[in-house]
Amino acid sequence: MSSEAGVLGVITGLRTRAIDVPLIRPWGTDVTEHHLIEVLVDTESGVTGHGFSWTPTIGAHSVLAMLDHDIRDFAVGRDADPATLWTPLWERLHEAGSGGVTTIAMAGLDLALWDAVGRAAQKPVADLIGERRASLRVYGSGVNRHYSLDQLVEQARRWADAGYSLVKLKVGGHPLAEDVDRVAAVRETIGPDVDLAIDANQLWTLDEAERAVGELSRFRLHWIEEPLRADDLLGHAALRSRIEVPVALGENLHTVYRFREAIELGAADIVQPNVIRVGGITPFLAIAELAEAAGIPVYPHLLPDLSGQLSLTLATETPIEDVEDASFERLGLLAEPGPIVIDGTVATPTGRPGLGIVLS
C-alpha cells in the first residue's frame, strides 16, 4: 500500500459536507433518516479521494466537528497513505475517546485515502487488498421490530419470493410470547430450508437472553445477534456457554482491541465489524485478520455498497447484508453508478476504481 499511496504525495486539503437522507422504510418511529458526512481529501498529486462517515441516528454533528477541526488539523501536510496515517491519528484523538465519534469520524478520512489510492492506480479497492472471489451471496435483513405481524409476514414473503438462503429479523422489545409468534410466522413463511437469524440489538439481560433463546431455538436459528449490551463481552461469553445457538456481535465494537478481547474471551461465533464504526478499511482489515486466525467468520455489518467490496477479499466467503430499500442506490445517494450491483440474491462488483462511491 505504501508504494501505491506514495504517488499521491501529501494531503493538501480536507472538505466535508453533511447529508441527511430520508429512509424509504423507517427503521422505527424515531429513525426516519440517515446522516452521512461526505469527506473529500485533496492530495499533492491532484487526485481527490471520496469518503464518508455515517450514523443512522445520533452523533453526526459531533463527527462533522471532529473532521473539520482535529482531523483536518492533523492530516493536512502528512503523507496520503491510509496504512501509515491511521495509527498516529488515532493516538492523537484518543483523549477524546478510543471509539465511537472518534473512529466514525476517522473512517471518513480513511475511506477517502483508500479511494484516492485506487483512483491513482486505476484499481478497485478490492484489487488493492487482494480480491478472492468475483461475486457474493446476499442475505435479506429487516429493521422490523416496529412492524405489525402482518407487515412482518409480508416482508418475509418478499424474502422467500426473492430466493434468499438466509434472512434476519429483529426480536426483543416485545413480550417473549409475542417474539415467539413473530419468529414462528417468519419461519412458516420462508419455509424450513432458509437459514433464519435473529437480532436482539442489545435489549436483553443475560438471564432474559438465555430464556428467550431457549424458547426461540426451536425455529432452527442460524445465529442470535447482540443479545446483550455490546460492551458486555464477559456476558456474551457466559451466554455462549449456556446456549447452542451461535452468537454474533461486533457492529458496536469500535477498536481492534475490543474484537481481540471478544475472540479471546470466547464471546462470539461470528464477528460483524461495521467498517465505519471501526474507523475505516485500515482497521477493518486488521480485525478480519484476527478473526481469520481464530477461525471465526466475518459478516460485515450493513452498508452493502462498501461492505460488499471488502467481503470480496475475506478469507471465508460470507454473504453480505442487504436491509430492504436501504442501499445507497435505493436511497438516491449516488451521483454515479455504484461499485456493487445486487441482482436478486447475488452481488457483483462493477470494477470502478477506488471505492466507486460518489455521493450526490
Residues annotated as catalytic are 170, 301
Contact 284, 110 (CB under 8 A): no
SS3 labels along 101-169: HHHHHHHHHHHHHHHHHHHHHCCEHHHHHCCCCCCEEEEEECCCCCCCHHHHHHHHHHHHHHCCCEEEE
> In DSSP terms, which residues pair with 51 in a beta bridge?
39
Give strand ranges (E) for 193-276: 195-199, 221-225, 247-249, 270-271
Q: Which three cell numbers stand for residue 116?
A: 484516492
Give strand ranges (E) for the chain: 11-22, 33-43, 48-55, 136-141, 166-170, 195-199, 221-225, 247-249, 270-271, 320-323, 340-343, 346-349
Instruction: Please count the residues of the chain.
Output: 360
Strand order in the sheet with 33-43: 11-22, 33-43, 48-55
Q: How many CA atoms lie within 13 A of 122 on its CB side?
A: 0
DSSP 319: P
Q: Residue 269: what residue type?
A: D
3-state helix, strand, coil in the chain (%, to 5): 40, 20, 35
Give the chain's count of helices (H) and strands (E).
13, 12
Contact 217, 209 (CB under 8 A): no
12's CB contacts (< 8 A; 6+ apart) are 42, 43, 44, 76, 77
Q: Which three cell numbers stand for residue 87?
A: 495509527
Question: In this structure, are strands 33-43 and 48-55 parallel, antiparallel, or unpaired?
Answer: antiparallel
